[in-house]
């Protein structure tokens, strides 16, 4: 993990704080590509993931945009109340689980703070090859709208004055070769998935309630390298059980979307509840997310 300093913290929109992170000694930062994110450790030790929304050519700073979510799990609240210029944050990455694939045409659909990973994507593409549909609660809540205002192909849709995004209208007229990228609340992602049969690239910042495992059904798990076998009771997660004997096991979101707790499965059939693995990866059963995954049968053997 590297330690970076907050060089500036500015209000980007209602409820959105923009951070610029830099190396305290001015060293060049690791390169990244559009769609990448950082894993950030806050002063309290809380770990969160934020998309990079600046310019990949700028190797002196990383730019993040963080939405304040009072009903969230505390990470965004801490950033908004306790992080400012000069704060030192632990950073891992950049990682990219949302890369831009080659395509003739692109449609980007952003809901709220979901605009962040899409900003560097559209800047990297030739004008005329993409369009962006960006919805938000109100114009005041929509971060980076001034930056976007001058770009051809951008449609801003503040819900309070323009209503919801017209997904049927936009997706209905697209050629099947269009690469559609969507980032935003779960409801938006689901709505796009239902309407678009072509190539679709999505990034979830939080898991849908139905995707978070309901701890149910007991099973046994053998940790092959540790040499221990545990029983995972109904009512607790596999990750919780594993942490008792492997305290250093890697995890972060605990909701099945960041990929940090991905673990190799040696035997048994995992029951996946994550949004990291593709359908093919899930069907292969060779890895799983400990935080939300369980066992289909009575026993799993993990490479831990």
Residues in contact with ligand FES by the rule CB under 6 A: 251-254, 256-261, 274, 276, 289, 291
Nearer to ligand FES, 109 or 291 (CB): 291
How many CB atoms are closer than 10 A to CB 100? 20
Q: Which of helix, strand or coil describes residue 271?
A: strand
- Residue 240 Cβ vs ligand FES, minimum distance, rounded to whole Å: 12
Residue that has been written with the tokens 């001058």 in this structure = 150
Per the rule left: phi > 0, alpha: psi between -120 and 50, beta: everything else, 235 is left
The CA distance from 304 to 302, in Å, is 6
Nearer to ligand FES, 148 or 302 (CB): 302
- Write down how long the chain is: 304
- CA triple 300-47-5, angle to 5 deg: 150
- Residue 141 Cβ vs ligand FES, minimum distance, rounded to whole Å: 27
- Residue 243 Cβ vs ligand FES, minimum distance, rounded to whole Å: 11
Nearer to ligand FES, 199 or 206 (CB): 206
Nearer to ligand FES, 33 or 211 (CB): 211
The CA distance from 109 to 131, in Å, is 9
- Residue 132 Cβ vs ligand FES, minimum distance, rounded to whole Å: 28
Nearer to ligand FES, 192 or 258 (CB): 258
The CA distance from 239 to 45, in Å, is 18
- Residue 294 Cβ vs ligand FES, minimum distance, rounded to whole Å: 13
């Amino acid at each position: 993990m590297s330690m970076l300093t907050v060089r500036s913290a500015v209000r980007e929109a209602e409820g959105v704080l923009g951070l610029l992170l830099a190396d305290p000694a001015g060293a060049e930062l690791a390169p990244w590509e559009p769609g990448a994110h950082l894993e950030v450790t806050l002063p309290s030790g809380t770990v969160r993931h934020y998309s990079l929304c600046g310019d990949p050519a700028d190797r002196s700073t990383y730019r993040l945009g963080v939405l304040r979510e009072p009903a969230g799990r505390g990470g965004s609240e801490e950033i908004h109340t306790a992080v400012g210029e000069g704060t030192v944050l632990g950073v891992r990455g950049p990682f990219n689980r949302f890369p831009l694939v080659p395509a003739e045409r692109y449609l980007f659909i952003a809901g709220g703070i979901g605009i962040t990973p899409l900003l560097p994507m559209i800047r990297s593409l030739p004008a005329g090859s993409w369009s962006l549909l960006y919805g938000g609660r109100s114009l005041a809540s929509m971060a980076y709208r001034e930056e976007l205002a001058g770009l051809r192909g951008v449609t801003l849709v503040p819900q309070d004055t323009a209503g919801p995004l017209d997904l049927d209208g936009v997706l209905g007229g697209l050629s099947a070769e269009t690469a559609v990228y969507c980032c935003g609340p779960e409801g938006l992602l689901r709505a796009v998935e239902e309407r678009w049969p072509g190539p679709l690239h999505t990034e979830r910042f939080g898991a849908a309630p139905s995707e978070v495992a309901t701890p149910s059904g007991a099973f046994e798990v053998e940790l092959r390298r540790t040499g221990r076998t545990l029983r995972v009771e109904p009512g607790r997660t596999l990750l919780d059980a594993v942490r008792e004997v492997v305290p250093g096991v890697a995890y972060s979101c605990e909701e099945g979307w960041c990929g940090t707790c991905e673990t190799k499965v040696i035997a048994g059939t995992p029951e996946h509840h994550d949004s990291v693995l593709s359908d093919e990866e899930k069907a292969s059963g060779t890895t799983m997310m400990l935080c939300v995954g369980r066992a289909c049968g009575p026993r799993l053997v993990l490479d831990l």
